[in-house]
Amino acid sequence: MQNLSRRSVLTLGAALGLVAATETPKAWAWSSANSIAGTDTVTDPWEVWDDDTDPLLVSLLDNNQVPAVNEAFKSWSRNGDPLPSGLPPELTAYLNRVNTLPSWADPVKLDRAAKFNKRMSMYLFLLYGLGSGIMSTVIPREARNVYWSEGGADMKARAAKTFTYGYDLNTPDAFKPTGYFMVTSHKTRLTHAAVRHLLPQSPAWQAVTDHPIPISNGDILITFHSLGTYVRRKLREWRNYGLRMSTAEEEAYLHMWQVALHLLGVRDEFIPATWAAADEQSEYVLTPLLAPTREGIDLADILLSLTSSVDLGVTKGFQREFSRYLLSDQIGDWLRLPRHPVSRGVIEVGWPAYIAFREGTSPIMPGTFTMFDRFVRGLAMLFLNNGSSPTQTPITIPTRNRPG
């Protein structure tokens, strides 16, 4: 396996025209002084993986124990459920260790975040689905990892599993014994650890990767910014149209993501303590690294087609334009999303008017209100129905890569 540094490969890639000529990433300089840990150190999160979990998954995969674990996990779904019996003892010991909220988790903030999620649910479904989900396809490492892992071959099932994560995070009792999110997080963390062992064995992935081991702490931070940081920024923008969001709600929403990152195995020294710190980190790790890849273009088309396979009362052209509107035309061009100027005109005028009427800041119901409402509610239903699958799709640990 080639041990090329990420920076040298990206520079080379840009020079050869293999990746978009985005700014060469700087060496990591984000100080942990502004992190949850509050320690003034500078450690490169792109060289940090998951020491607690990765060796365990190597052992489970090498001993062919993952299919039995997936089977046993079927009965383990709520945070308050006892651990399934019959798991390999080292997995039971691990789960007993990690199956707890961090000491700094604040139940008051988590409750506030839950109420906020409920109030904002329609906007959140839209932003996660047509914004963050599509943005993930222009994060080169994520696109390539997702494409070449086992789940990349069946994006419908994969999207449904990702919906499970989003759905479980957004329920009022996400972090309580009756909720599902902690269990879903543990399964996701184990899945990521399996991918770290499996993908380096994929010749197809090796041929396109810029780093020998996938899903570092730094990579997870990038994805967080494409979710939480991006969504909060859009909601703030939409305050201009009448959306209400208090500082306490914004902080609670960040706190929810801080706990979520912790549960995914991100070290506290990398988790931003404030939105100012998160914005700074995002400018640093997300924005300059966005670029198109062959895999990402393919994935975006699959994801958008999944969404437009249900009747949202709008045309495919409108839905693609909405994604452009949420993300930028540059990203839309990278992903070769078709232009639809008429829809764009309707969106630019109609969306602000929709928010204003919905939030009660304008008494005038715009002519396009019903169309937008059907669109937003249709997306929400798609999400709530878990990608039109009748049941929650359980997250399962992969045992192989996409055949390539």
User: Which residues of this protein are in contact with ligand HEM, per CB under 6 A?
Assistant: 141-142, 145-146, 149-151, 158, 161-162, 165, 188, 191-192, 195, 214-215, 219-220, 223-224, 227, 395, 398
Q: How far is the CB of 225 from ligand HEM (least distance, A)?
A: 9
Q: How far is the CB of 257 from ligand HEM (least distance, A)?
A: 8
Q: How far is the CB of 143 from ligand HEM (least distance, A)?
A: 8
CA 328 – CA 233 distance, rounded (Å): 14
Q: How far is the CB of 174 from ligand HEM (least distance, A)?
A: 13
- Our CB check for ligand HEM shows the closer of 60 and 215 to be 215
- Our CB check for ligand HEM shows the closer of 194 and 331 to be 194
- Our CB check for ligand HEM shows the closer of 146 and 353 to be 146
Looking at residue 171, its amino acid is: T
CA 365 – CA 354 distance, rounded (Å): 8
What φ, ψ does residue 149 adopt, rounded to 5°? Answer: -85, 170
Q: How far is the CB of 396 from ligand HEM (least distance, A)?
A: 7
SS3 of 50-72 = CCCCHHHHHHHHHCCCHHHHHHH
CA 236 – CA 40 distance, rounded (Å): 30
- Our CB check for ligand HEM shows the closer of 292 and 398 to be 398
- Our CB check for ligand HEM shows the closer of 44 and 373 to be 44
Type and span of the H or E element at 287: none
Q: How many residues does the chain have?
A: 404
- Our CB check for ligand HEM shows the closer of 141 and 255 to be 141
End-to-end CA distance of the chain: 18
Q: How far is the CB of 10 from ligand HEM (least distance, A)?
A: 15
**Nearest residue relative to ligand HEM (C-beta):** 151
* Ordered DSSP codes for 328-365: -HHHHHHTTPPP-HHHHHHHHHHHHHHHHHHTTS--PP
